[in-house]
Amino acid sequence: MGKSLSICMIVKNEERNIERCLQSIHHIADEIIVVDTGSTDNTKIIASKYNAKIYDFQWVDDFSKARNYSIEKAKCDWILILDGDDEFEKRDGSRLLELINRKDAADIYIFNTICYVGEKAGNEKILNVNIRLFKNIPELRYQGRIHESVVSKKTDTKMETAEITVYHYGYLNVYVKEQEKRKRNMRILKKQLEEQPENPYFLFCMGNEYFALGLVEKSLEYFNSSFEKCNKKDIYVPKLLIRIIMAYQLLKDYNKAIFYIDKALSLYPNYTDVEYIRGSIYHSKGIVTKAIKCFKKCLEMSEPPAVLNFIIGVGTYKAHYALGCIYHQMEDYSEALLHYNQALIIKPDYYDAIYSIGGILAVTSINDNEFKEKLLKFFDTNMPNNCAMIADISYLQKKYEMTIEFIEKARQKGLYNESLHLLKAQSYFYLKEYEKSIEIFSLVSDKSIYHTKAKTYHCLSLLLCEKFEDAENIIKVLEHEEDFKLKHKAFNCLASILSNGKKVSFDEEQKASDALLNNIFEILDLILGTKEFDKFEKALGMLNCIDNDKSLLLLAKLYNKHGFIEMASKEIIRSIKVFDKIDGETAFILNKSFSMINSKKISV
């Protein structure tokens, strides 16, 4: 008779997730133990449908106590640990059963956990490794209030990794916000660090929480302290190092980031992730030859072992995509297409590559019909989702009539949502059909997630078709909305310039404000996109109302984005003369401009 398996879970308010989890595992489970720590939704009702044994546990800010309580209720030979927001890879079920029935089975197994992050489950994900499976013996129990780990009282405990995958949905933005996980985690970690202030693992965990909150410098205090104290052989140390590297990268302290990349590779020569970040740093600095070398090295190194892997795809499709982006930027379209296509061969649903191919087709196609013909080769247009994606790609390539065409095709096939509704309005905006865009934007609810974007376009549509009174009515309302505190000032300034040629005064703090500057450039970007050049020239008067040494470089980047390379280079030269300022991106633009001038001279 084969070995038996208990699924042990601790849950709270997981009605949106738990059915997916139980559906993925019930077919191989001999029993399902669900320990509920205080659900007020339908979590327990859903679990009961799968014949789970449900136990209540009073939450005491200690995950280990809850985990160990669930283990004590288990009767089977082996324990598989899952959370309500996990999903077991069904195809790995037979592999798991093989593991627990091996005569030489280890005591503990580490599985891969693919964590979805961002707005929705998709391409944005990271890889962690976690203890998931172990023998149901008294010597194996959890320790640690949070980010708990299995500790063995045996001296000869055998631990192995297994190529088995669990998907984790709990760090998608919606669940992090709903359940206030960061606040909870930090509260428990503070208690843990009061008990063990020198524990490097919990210092690392606290650093992760600050990093997730965007408090990068604070996170580094904990990361660096953890690295000083840690045993370099501990399983979490590769993740600690990549967090340190990513923190310095975010702070633009590239020398320290590269120092720790070298340190990481000296400890873990197969750590492709950090070589990939090195390439990203060189790319951001405009040192493209070194960036290319790094990404090609990533392909040679290939994907690292799971214990080192954090950014999925760095040794395969993401490295190809990064190379494609560099060659695309260099306008070497044949080489860029080669790498984009390689990325798609490895990962056919890697939509970033499809969108980038759309960008190349837009440049290399003779006309819109050729662009359309080439793009449609990548899609089955009988599927409404594909029609929506074609519309999105067309919009990004400024093919606005084609965007509207495929939005309508998606609608005819049963797909029409608020996102497509807004995309249609934006297309009308850029086609200068302002009356149609105003009609659609005015219908977007104040409660919509697209409210801020819709109001921005709506107000600008009114200003560009010179309905100044209607625009000013909207601007007055926006003044009282949190998301428009600065944008309404930029709109006030623009309305005054366009309607009567008068500039608006800002206070000294606002004049130097990066946030106000960014709002002004968001508006300038939209106006330039309409090719209303006379109105754009007038709108540039907004820059005379502020005092910020970044304005000329941002203007150069804006001109470059819209294909006005010569004008971009003039603004970069002005920035160097007036403010002594240039950065990696504008250095690349300037170099590209000089190359174009030289190639023209040679051709003459």
pLDDT tens profile 448-491: 889 889 999 999 999 999 999 999 888 888 877 777 877 888 99
Sequence-separated (6 or more) residues with CB below 8 Å from residue 278: 258, 261, 294
The per-residue pLDDT for 118 is: 80
Residue 598 pLDDT more than 70?
Answer: no
CA quadruple 194, 200, 205, 211: dihedral sign: positive
CATH of domain 5-170: 3.90.550.10
> What class, spelled out in words, does domain 417-546 have in CATH?
mainly alpha
Contact 148, 73 (CB under 8 A): no
Measure the CA–CA gap between 457 and 443, rounded to whole angstroms: 12
The per-residue pLDDT for 440 is: 94
The per-residue pLDDT for 498 is: 94
The per-residue pLDDT for 179 is: 57
- Of 162, 36, 44, 41, the residue nearest 111 (C-alpha): 162
Terminal-residue alpha carbon distance, the chain: 85
- Of 553, 491, 492, the residue nearest 522 (C-alpha): 491
What does the pLDDT look like over 139-187, one tens digit per residue? 999 999 998 999 999 889 999 999 999 999 988 877 766 557 788 899 9
Give yes or no on whether 5-170 and 196-315 have one common fold. Answer: no
Instruction: Compare 584 and 246 and report the one with higher pLDDT.
Output: 246
Measure the CA–CA gap between 175 and 14, rounded to whole angstroms: 10
Measure the CA–CA gap between 324 and 339, rounded to whole angstroms: 5
What does the pLDDT look like over 42-75, one tens digit per residue? 999 999 999 999 999 999 999 999 999 999 999 9
Least confident of 19-28, 31-40, 147-156: 147-156
Measure the CA–CA gap between 45 and 47, rounded to whole angstroms: 6
Residue ranges per structural domain of the chain: 5-170, 196-315, 417-546, 549-604
Indicate yes or no: pTM above 0.85.
no
Measured in degrees and rounded to the nearest 5, phi and psi for residue 7 equal -95, 125
Which CATH code, of 1.20.1050.10, 3.30.1130.10, 3.40.50.720, 1.25.40.10, is assigned to 196-315? 1.25.40.10
- Of 294, 250, 252, the residue nearest 273 (C-alpha): 294
Strands 5-11 and 78-83: parallel
Query: Counting Cβ atoms within 10 Å, is residue 341 exposed (0-12), middle (13-18) or buried (19+)?
Result: middle
The per-residue pLDDT for 514 is: 86
185: left (phi over 0), alpha (psi -120 to 50) or beta: alpha
Can you tell me the mean pLDDT for 253-265? 98
Q: In the structure, what pLDDT confidence band is assigned to residue 604 with cuts at 50, 70 and 90? A: very low
Sequence-separated (6 or more) residues with CB below 8 Å from residue 302: 272, 315, 316
Q: Write the secondary structure of 501-560 as one string of H (helix), E (strand) and C (coil).
A: CCCCCCCHHHHCCHHHHHHHHHHHHHHHHHCCHHHHHHHHHHHHHCCCCCHHHHHHHHHH
Strands 125-135 and 78-83: antiparallel
What does the pLDDT look like over 400-418, one tens digit per residue? 999 999 999 999 999 999 9
Measure the CA–CA gap between 563 and 574, rounded to whole angstroms: 19
Exposed e or buried b for every residue in 374-409, given b needs 16+ CB within 10 A?
bbeebbeeeebebbbbbbbbbbebebbebbbbbbeb
